[in-house]
Chain A
Amino acid sequence: MSKVVVSFRKENCKGCGLCINACPKGLLDFSESTNNAGYPTVYLKEEESCTGCALCAVMCPDVAITVEKEVSA
């Protein structure tokens, strides 16, 4: 399985939870920490299980999620 990197622009997140709802494998959850605006932020629980489908990013209203996938040469 190719490597997937999911990164969060933490300060853009408003804690709406639509990404958590969108993940078909239930891999996202709210973290303990909040951002400067006071919103709870999201983290990827099991990086290795993520397929990079990017549905979380598709549903994110704040363009806070970037999904990158390693491409085999």
Chain B
Amino acid sequence: MKVISGKPESLTDKKYHYCPGCMHGVIHRLVAEVIDELGLREETVGVASVGCSVLSHNYFNLDMQEAAHGRAPAVATGIKRVLPDRTVFTYQGDGDLASIGSAEILHAAARGENITVIFVNNSCYGMTGGQMAPTTLPGQLTSTTPLGRDVKKEGYPLRMSEVLATMDATAYIARTSTHNAKHVMKTKKAILNAFKAQQQGQGFSMVEVLSTCPTNWKMKPVEALQWVENNMMKYFPLQEFKKVSGGDQ
């Protein structure tokens, strides 16, 4: 029998703490599958962030460091500068990456740090109870925008992929989604491209993955996926924004 889909070696046996239907679990699996397929498990150091994925070091079956809120790209920089031949990735949410860690992500990208960033965008702060994030959509209800995000008061969401794609030193920037199986598989391909860019020393790579927060969005898991497709994707278009040539085509 051939396993078509199962638990990759780069995931531990530990049961996820994530809420039912949260797509963190899928994105973890995709990262682990890519690391397995590239044969990198034993030469990878991952960096967990703060947010729901703060415990992701329990799930990735490889060397991990847990970083302070938003600082994962700086921590990853420290690791990669000492161990340039190892694969280094960060796994960050939208509050972590686009708000408190905006300086660290911008400058890691500007320096072209040869690391891979997995950026999970679910348009809210999940762990702390669904507060407004820098990626919260205009009008979106959150626990700190109880009447909906008012762009006059709270401004507009940050499109991080578009911002980072303008930088000279970024090698691979893509935004994908997890709202259905086809897009989950596209997400895996993007994550593969990002890790390959790092393997080939091309510089900074990031995949922004649109994800869900059924609990804080107060939706059933299937409805949450539909909300990603019908609302998030309008504001955050799916695209491969940047792919430096010279790599594996």
**A touches B in complex, CB < 8 A:** yes
Spell out A's residues near B (CB within 8 Å): 5, 11-12, 14-18, 21-22, 39, 52, 54-55, 57-63, 65-71
In the complex, are the beta carbons of B1 and A17 less than 8 A apart?
no
A-binding residues in B (CB < 8 A): 1-7, 11, 15-16, 18-26, 29, 180-181, 184-185, 214, 220-222, 225
Q: A residues within 8 A CB of B23?
A: 61
Known: A18-B21, A69-B1, A71-B1. A12 touches B15 (CB 8 A): yes
Contact between chains at A66 and B6 (CB < 8 Å): yes
Shortest A59–chain B CB gap in Å is: 5
B21 touches A70 (CB 8 A): no
Say whether, besides A18-B222, A55-B181, A60 and B7 are in contact (CB < 8 Å): no
> B58 to chain A: closest CB distance in Å?
13
Between A and B, 17 residue pairs with Cβ closer than 8 Å are A12-B15, A12-B16, A15-B20, A16-B221, A18-B225, A22-B180, A54-B4, A59-B26, A59-B180, A61-B25, A61-B26, A63-B25, A67-B6, A68-B3, A68-B6, A69-B1, A70-B1
Bound-state CA distance A59–B159 (Å) is: 26
| 8 Å CB contact of B7 from A16, A18, A22, A63 | A63
Q: Is the CB of A58 within 8 A of B225?
A: no
Q: Are A65 and B5 in contact (CB under 8 A)?
A: yes
Interface of chain B, main secondary structure: mixed
How many interface contacts (CB-CB < 8 Å) are there between A and B?
84
Bound state CA distance, A18 and B19, in angstroms? 13
Give the residue name and chain of the A residue nearest to B7 (CB). Answer: A63
Query: Of B3, B22, B221, which one neighbours A67 at CB under 8 angstroms?
Result: B3
Once the chains bind, are B20 and A60 in contact (CB under 8 Å)? no
Beyond A12-B16, A54-B4, A58-B184, 5 additional pairs, beta carbon < 8 A: A5-B1, A15-B20, A58-B26, A68-B1, A68-B6
Q: Is the CB of A57 within 8 A of B25?
A: no
Contact flag A61-B181 (CB < 8 Å), given A67-B3, A69-B4, A71-B2: no
5 smallest CB-CB distances across A and B, nearest first, come from: A61-B25, A57-B5, A16-B21, A14-B20, A66-B6
Q: Which of B6, B21, B185 contacts A61 (CB 8 A)?
A: B21
Q: A60-B26, A61-B23, A61-B24 are in contact. Are A66 and B5 (CB under 8 A)?
A: yes
Task: Please tell me if the beta carbons of B181 and A22 are within 8 angstroms of each other in the complex.
Answer: yes
Known: A16-B21, A16-B221. A57 touches B15 (CB 8 A): no
Q: Which residues of A contact B3 (CB under 8 A)?
A: 66-68
Contact partners of A68 in chain B: CB under 8 A: 1-4, 6
Q: Is B29 touching A63 in the complex (CB atoms < 8 A)?
A: yes
What is the chain A residue whose CB lies nearest that of B3? A68
Q: Which of B2, B20, B29, B214 has the most chain A CB atoms inside 10 A of its CB?
A: B20
Most buried by B among A12, A15, A18, A39: A18
User: Are the C-beta atoms of B7 and A39 separated by less than 8 Å?
Assistant: no
Of A5, A39, A52, A61, the contact of B22 (CB 8 Å cutoff)? A61
